[in-house]
Structure 1
Amino acid sequence: MENTFWTALAASSLAALVTATGIYTIRHFDIWGRKYSTYFVCFAAGVLISVSFLHIIPKSFEMNENAPAYLLSGFVLLHIFNRFITAFVCERGPDSLYGLGLVPMLGIGFHSFIDGFIYAITFSVSAFTGVLAASGMVLHEFPEGIITYLLLLHGGFSAKKSLILALLAASLSTPLGMLVSYPFISQIDKPSLGAMLSLSAGALVYVGATHLLPQAEKEHRKYSLFALGAGILIAVVIVLSK
């Protein structure tokens, strides 16, 4: 269990580092970051969705007979949370500091905090499950860092404050979520762990299918479909090679 803890911590810390890299990139290499972030989004979506359906969901079904209900719950709960954030943002004026900057930052921060839970859950099931989940999650952190920084900047925060808040919300919250959740997750029984794994799979499918892909489709980049296909292919190869 000690090795599992350090592996999960390393993976969540890597996610935080990738997010920080995204923030650094958009701050210092604005044109490059905007140009290629869509491809990271598409690739990450392909990996997350494929890994969820090919490995994480079947694994959770083996561990808990009620896993399908938890899978649906994970998807719906994240959708409701997203709708709440969207509605709250829309209630603010278009020039509102909170509407354009702070509220989305809190939503992303909570999402990143839950990502930390997913690292703790998946690595507690097995190292292979954890690596599969992490392979997609880490990649989607890069554009998430870019988005968080830009939202804060456009919301009226200074470049320095945007940097600090983006790092706290989108980057450091992930290993924090892992550290907070791991002591509890490592002590629960197999059916409960299967339920939590299924919940996390529902969340991963939601992030990939309704958050990342629509964002990529808005851009209509020439090779975005190839990036999505590459993500799916990588996930299939990893799962089949087990």
Structure 2
Amino acid sequence: MGEIDASVGVFGWPPALVASVLAATMASVGIFAVSTRPDTAQRYRPYFAALASGILLSTAMFILPEAFGGSQAAPLAALAGYFTLFVFSRFARRPEGRAFAAFFAIAAHSTLDGMEYGLLFAASDVAGFLGAFGLIMHEFAEGVVLFLILRGAGVPKVIALLAALFGAALTTPMGTLATLAVVPDLSLEQFSLALGYAAGALLFVGASQLPEEFGELGFKSSVATYAFGAILAILLMWSSHMHGHSHSEHHSTAPVTLARS
């Protein structure tokens, strides 16, 4: 398995934790933007969502073979990851208690996002960076959506702001920290199952959830931005492999290890 080398992070932090903090920052920016400039935030939200959708879709396809190669049960784990996010998404649509349902669903989703950072960087740097980029981009839309739902339900602005910051932002690094504490002790089989679960979750976000955020984005703009994100991820993968990130180096039978300073 790959290693998470703390030395390549910022302030000596593992890259996964840096990525999760950046994601939380992006969600916070979205929340503050929509609370102060709602028209501007709403205008650009579909572009963020479309770009992130393409990136996450390609990233999920990239890491699924990695997971399947380590466990015969990984396809079931991928389905479980997809279905978990599907349930959260449908739960948030229920008319009764929609504000609470949205908060619960997005907070759980954001926590899973944070967990995915640790798993993706443990698989390989390229999977980590690609997945992190897509997830970070979609955090903007996630923060905006949660704040707007809370405000639409009549929640006071200050409370909606604080709830959105916790539900869409702070839960992400919390999930990453939890994963970093557990991943070093996982066997190849366990890691592959966890990676398959993360891939399934990414697949749902990229292929099902985020496309719903395209809103009034026109056909050409949505397709072009979506395709650009997917192609960008593919080009980055190819570039990484050309610089020595061979697929075989991630199939060691040793447990996952995270290099610590």
CA deviations over 1:59-102 (Å, ceiling 9, x no partner): 2122223222222222123223333443xx32x1xxxxx32x22
Aligned to 1:15: 23
Distance in structure 1 (CA, Å) of the matches to 2:213 and 2:40 = 18
- Aligned ranges 1:208-219 → 2 under 5 Å: 208-216=206-214, 218-219=215-216
Instruction: Say if 2:5 is the partner of 1:28.
Output: no
- Aligned ranges 1:140-219 → 2 under 5 Å: 140-216=138-214, 218-219=215-216
Instruction: Say if 2:63 is the partner of 1:63.
Output: no
Distance in structure 1 (CA, Å) of the matches to 2:212 and 2:163 = 26
Distance in structure 2 (CA, Å) of the matches to 1:169 and 1:102 = 11
Distance in structure 1 (CA, Å) of the matches to 2:76 and 2:100 = 33
| Structure 1 spans left out of the alignment, 5+ residues | 93-97
User: What's the CA shift for 1:2?
Assistant: 5.8
Distance in structure 1 (CA, Å) of the matches to 2:226 and 2:5 = 35
2:14 alignment partner, SS class: helix
CA deviations over 1:20-52 (Å, ceiling 9, x no partner): 011111112211111110011011001000111
Distance in structure 1 (CA, Å) of the matches to 2:212 and 2:36 = 27
Aligned to 2:88: 81
Query: 2:60, 2:202 within 8 Å by CA — same for their partners in 1?
Result: yes
Query: 1:45, 1:213 within 8 Å by CA — same for their partners in 2?
Result: yes
Aligned to 2:120: 122
Aligned to 2:244: none
Query: 2:70, 2:189 within 8 Å by CA — same for their partners in 1?
Result: yes
Q: Structure 1 residues 67, 160: closer, same or farther in 2, change over 3 A?
A: same
CA deviations over 1:164-223 (Å, ceiling 9, x no partner): 11001100000011112221122101121111101110011111111111331x424362
Distance in structure 2 (CA, Å) of the matches to 1:103 and 1:84 = 6
Query: 1:102, 1:155 within 8 Å by CA — same for their partners in 2?
Result: no
Identity %: 31
* Letter paired with 1:229: A
Please report the RMSD computed on the Cα atoms of aligned residues, expressed in angstroms: 1.7
* Letter paired with 2:57: I
2:43 alignment partner, SS class: helix
Instruction: Say if 2:27 is the partner of 1:37.
Output: no
Distance in structure 1 (CA, Å) of the matches to 2:90 and 2:39 = 31
Number of residue pairs aligned between Structure 1 and Structure 2: 231
Distance in structure 2 (CA, Å) of the matches to 1:80 and 1:25 = 29
2:154 alignment partner, SS class: coil
Q: Structure 1 residues 72, 103: closer, same or farther in 2, change over 3 A?
A: closer
2:69 alignment partner, SS class: helix
CA deviations over 1:101-149 (Å, ceiling 9, x no partner): 2221111011001111111111122222211211111110011111111
Distance in structure 2 (CA, Å) of the matches to 1:77 and 1:23 = 25
- Aligned ranges 1:43-54 → 2 under 5 Å: 43-53=51-61
- Bigger fraction of residues in helix: 1
Of 86, 92, 101, the match for 1:103: 101
Distance in structure 2 (CA, Å) of the matches to 1:105 and 1:38 = 21
Distance in structure 1 (CA, Å) of the matches to 2:108 and 2:41 = 24
Normalised by the length of structure 1, the TM-score is: 0.90
1:65 alignment partner, SS class: coil
Normalised by the length of structure 2, the TM-score is: 0.83
1:147 alignment partner, SS class: helix
2:185 alignment partner, SS class: coil
Query: 2:46, 2:217 within 8 Å by CA — same for their partners in 1?
Result: no
Distance in structure 1 (CA, Å) of the matches to 2:105 and 2:156 = 20
